[in-house]
Amino acid sequence: MQGGRLFSIAACTVAIAAGAMAAGCSDIGIGDGTGSAVGDPDDGTGSVTSVPATTLPLTQTPQYVASNTPCPGGLPELRAAPLDQAAPGRSVTLVPYIDLAEATVMVFDSAEGDAGDGGSAAVGGGFVGDRQGRIWRFAPYPDGQAGSGLRAGVGEKPVADFSSDTAAEHDQGLVGMTFGPKGRLWINRTNRHGSSLLTVLTPTADRTALEGGYADLLEVSQTNAQHNGGDLLFDESGLLYVSFGDGGGLGDPHHHGQNLTTPLGAVLRFAIDTADSDDPGDWRLAPAPGNPDLGPRSDPHIWAYGARNPFRMSFDGPTSTLWVSDVGQQCIEEVNVLTLDEGGANLGWNAYEGSRRFVGDELVDHRPPDLEYRHGRGLCAVIGGHVYRGSELEWLEGRYVFADLCGGDIYAANVQPGTRPDEVWNLGVRTPRPVGFAVDSAGELYVVDMETGVWRLGR
């Protein structure tokens, strides 16, 4: 099943030497802003166009200067109230769930094969992956048989192993996983060449393993190992959302965030054409119906743009909102709550970092964040995050649960789109290095931690 014609989106290539920066863009089948698109997007024969940039000493670029300027005063702090003070009598514990070093992604089974954020149809088994590109089947231990207090275990060997073709430096690795159409497992990882690759795998009928073949459906070239973004999920109508960072470099030196001809620094939205086939090798990706028209030569797959490193996304079904947590430069972390009619939203980077002006011209169409907080005091990178819809901690209903990579504390924010959060709670629990969250069919949340594995939020 592996193979088919791979849809490739090429981004700007970069060279930094002798203190100078040079950048050029190449493209296969999608306009690069210098002329009409060339080549068949499926056949890989498109010609390459190079766009020279003005040579400027790296340390004199506005992006470099802004990235090394001390943060101004008055930026919003993450003033999280301790849970025992904000909600007396309430408490949260972290229950050890899976012991897996370098864990990055996790999804629960979708027994019905429906698309969805996590796709869980029954609290039980699923798949968990690590940064190196290995995927394991996990299943709950029978009652009373959990080893060392763990609630679920993984098999001795991974059911899929892409480690020989996965780069795992900085923001690379296996960074996204979800279930999609026909019950297939979709992953987003960085291959050994540094490109982001979307791959579709097929679970066996009993859901305990993966079939041997797979299909690569999308490749996006990255400029370096930073800010690759990489989350992916499906909405209730089966449309695929994929996030990509700006490609790295201090302050977005290649201007990807505001460049509508590149997939970098954007959230893309695709329709999946399965061609009435059960073989993902026959499937194709296309711009989703209703994607915004962002002008001549713009990438028709872009749904929202102006992001720096939108590492995590989630959907909240009851409110039909997409929550995008975007890792900041040196001052601000932000979360954007987008309704599904906000296609074309400009999140502002790199003219803005959060609501703080950064470089370049002021934007007339900047869509400000709904939650933001400044770096410092052990905080460095926002890790989203789901709106809690479970029942075990019913008093958390409707609050956005998130973490910070460096601080490790788990928070819950009352976020109303278009306004500042009324309050943020520190739930009083933490993990050493949280990198994501997962949700089961009952709406209960799990923290994925790169050092210690997976933990369940409980009483």
**Structure-block tokens of residue 388:** 């809690």
Distances (CA, A) of 413 to 38, 54, 67, 155, 269: 47, 44, 28, 36, 27
Contacts of residue 180, defined as CB under 8 A and 6 or more positions apart, other chains included, come to: 115, 119, 186, 200, 234, 238, 240, 272
CA dist., res. 100 & res. 106, Å (int): 11
> Which pLDDT score, from 0 to 100, does residue 26 have?
23
Question: Which one-letter DSSP state was computed for residue 57?
Answer: B
pLDDT tens per residue across all 459 residues of the chain:
444 446 555 443 332 222 222 222 222 121 222 222 212 223 332 222 223 345 667 778 999 999 999 999 999 999 999 999 999 999 999 999 999 999 999 999 964 434 444 433 345 799 999 999 999 999 998 765 655 678 899 989 999 999 999 999 999 999 999 999 999 999 999 999 999 999 999 999 888 889 888 999 999 999 998 999 889 999 999 999 999 999 999 999 999 999 999 999 999 999 999 999 999 999 999 999 999 999 999 999 999 999 999 999 999 999 999 999 999 999 999 999 999 999 999 999 999 999 999 999 999 999 999 999 998 888 999 999 999 999 999 999 999 999 999 999 999 999 987 677 779 999 999 999 999 999 998 999 999 999 999 999 999
Angle (nearest 5°) at CA 109 between 240 and 220? 30
Bond before 385 cis per omega within 30 degrees: yes
Name which of 74, 29, 25 is nearest 285 in CA terms: 29
Tokens of 356: 């703080």
E strands, 274-419, where?
A: 284-287, 302-305, 312-316, 321-326, 332-339, 345-346, 352-353, 356-357, 371-374, 382-387, 400-404, 409-413
State pTM to two decimals.
0.87
Residue-wise DSSP of 353-387 = ETTEE-SSSPPSSB---SEEEESBTTB--EEEEEE
Q: What is the pLDDT of residue 50?
A: 29
* Measured distance CA(380)–CA(355) in Å, rounded: 17
**What 3-state class would DSSP assign to 284?**
strand
pLDDT score of 115: 42
Residue with tokens 């109303």: 416
Q: Angle 24-26-32 (CA atoms, 0-180°, nearest 5)?
A: 95
Instruction: Tell me if 215 sits within 8 A of 230, measured CB to CB.
Output: no
Q: How confident is the model at residue 56, as a pLDDT?
A: 66
Domains in the chain, start-ordered, CATH in brackets?
Answer: 78-458 (2.120.10.30)
Residues near 376 by beta carbon (within 8 Å), at least 6 away in sequence: 71
Whether the CA torsion 406, 408, 409, 415 is positive or negative: it is positive
